Structure 1
Amino acid sequence: MLDWGQIDTVLLDMDGTLLDLHYDNHFWMQHLPQRYAEANEISFSEAQALVIRMTDELRGTLDWYCLQYWSDTLKLDVPAMYREIEDRIALRPHTDNFLRSLRAMEKRALLVTNAHPDGLQHKLEVTGIDRWLDVIVSSHDLGHAKESSLFWHSLQERQPFDPGRTLFVDDNLHVLGAARDYGIAHLLCIRQPDSKSPVRDITDFPAIHDFDEILEAKTESRA
């Protein structure tokens, strides 16, 4: 249960937390390999295996999240390809109500994401979630992925916050570990970031399925 009286700042991941990760998973596992296969006249399975190998080698680094890096490496216009399947971009359940609730409680809400600015701007255009956020920070602006301790020190310099009175919600266990090491007191993990994938068994951090669980906690804490 969250004690909202002990929380001033809420840091929120985007993909897999506020937005359904199915869009990104489909893009990297299906759409991009298909377009790469067409451009290079190879089979889909060959292209998919290549993309998986390349992404696995960079997982957790800033390049892993950089659309420009992948455009240069694969010789494709990846940001343009992102827009080809924008109909799959969707909010996770209860996201809009949760963001409105944060505003009503006068909590400072920051989006902290590893998303590349091109992809980030596109998703904000489609969803409009930026209207509920006080600050939007991309790790590309800070030069470090959220998996790195350097990200959290840089974030503190740019947008000062009290780690002991901060809630951070993310779906990435490595990112949550880095936030815990930095000293953020209140951490939550998303159990099912991709609506088309199974619910995960999370044991390292407190976890929720959807944001209505936090809204219920808020209501009960006021009782």
Structure 2
Amino acid sequence: MDGTLLDLNFDNHFWQEFVPQKYAELHAISIHDAKQQLIPLFKSMEGKLEWYCLDYWSSQLNLDIAGLKAEIAELIAVLPHVVDFLSAVRAAGKQVMLVTNAHRGSLAIKMEKTCLHTFFDEIVCSHDLGLPKEHPDFWPIFQARYGFDATTTLFVDDNIAVLNAAKAYGIGYLISVSKPDSSRPKREITHYPAIEDFRDLLPVA
């Protein structure tokens, strides 16, 4: 979801600037010192379910992470042509599922802001399955619970580790997003077909 359907600028700003600011205020330290303390903590949880868990970080940092996200919810934005693509897929009669590492608390804030939930037949949070999408055991668990034909499935994600796990499981069509954050340069993606925005997947008029 984040960096695929939604502009990753929100999350990058939140974790790299806003949370350090609030942490610095809480501990009466400089933002620089706050970042020096927080960056190793964040790095240690990358790729783990805890990294995506608002409850975990609220406990670790003694901050109301969900509440802080709500404070700057105006920065939440849908990436270009996402709605066009989802509308076209729905019109084609395809089953559309959102499979996200986002915590339910974060998901609720973002769906309220964007209303993208109306496009999906199912919304699945990795927290409900107990593993993040990049874990090799995620997809077998997902298959057992929801059932899908991996060979005919199109899966789009901005996270290369997630795409690698999906490829190892045998998902047939994998696409990366080369510009997940609108405020940052386009990334060079070498291992997967990449789109800059979802217009690249729409039929040519």
Opposite residue 173 of structure 1, the aligned amino acid is: I
* Offset, 1:50: 1.6
The runs of 5 or more residues in structure 2 that have no matched partner are none
Equivalent residue runs for 1:201-220 within 5 Å: 201-216=188-203, 219=204
**Distance in 1, Cα, partners of 2:37 & 2:177:** 29
* Offset, 1:53: 1.0
The runs of 5 or more residues in structure 1 that have no matched partner are 1-13
2:113 aligns with: 126
TM, length-normalised to structure 1: 0.90
* Offset, 1:154: 1.2
**Is 1:32 matched up with 2:11?**
no
Q: Select 1:102's aligned residue among 72, 89, 98.
A: 89
Q: Select 1:143's aligned residue among 108, 126, 130.
A: 130
Equivalent residue runs for 1:62-211 within 5 Å: 62-211=49-198
**Distance in 1, Cα, partners of 2:11 & 2:118:** 22
* Offset, 1:142: 0.3
Opposite residue 200 of structure 1, the aligned amino acid is: R
RMSD of equivalent CA atoms: 0.9
* Offset, 1:114: 0.3
Identity value in percent: 48
TM, length-normalised to structure 2: 0.98
How many residue pairs get matched? Answer: 205
Alignment deviations for residues 97-136 of structure 1 (CA, whole Å, 9 cap, x no partner): 1110010011111000000010011101110000011100
Q: Which runs of 4+ in 1 moved over 3 A?
A: none
Opposite residue 131 of structure 1, the aligned amino acid is: T
**Distance in 1, Cα, partners of 2:109 & 2:144:** 27
Name the structure, 1 or 2, with higher relative contact order (CA <8 Å, separation 6+): 1
Opposite residue 99 of structure 2, the aligned amino acid is: V
Structure 2 counterpart SS, 1:123: helix
1:46 aligns with: 33
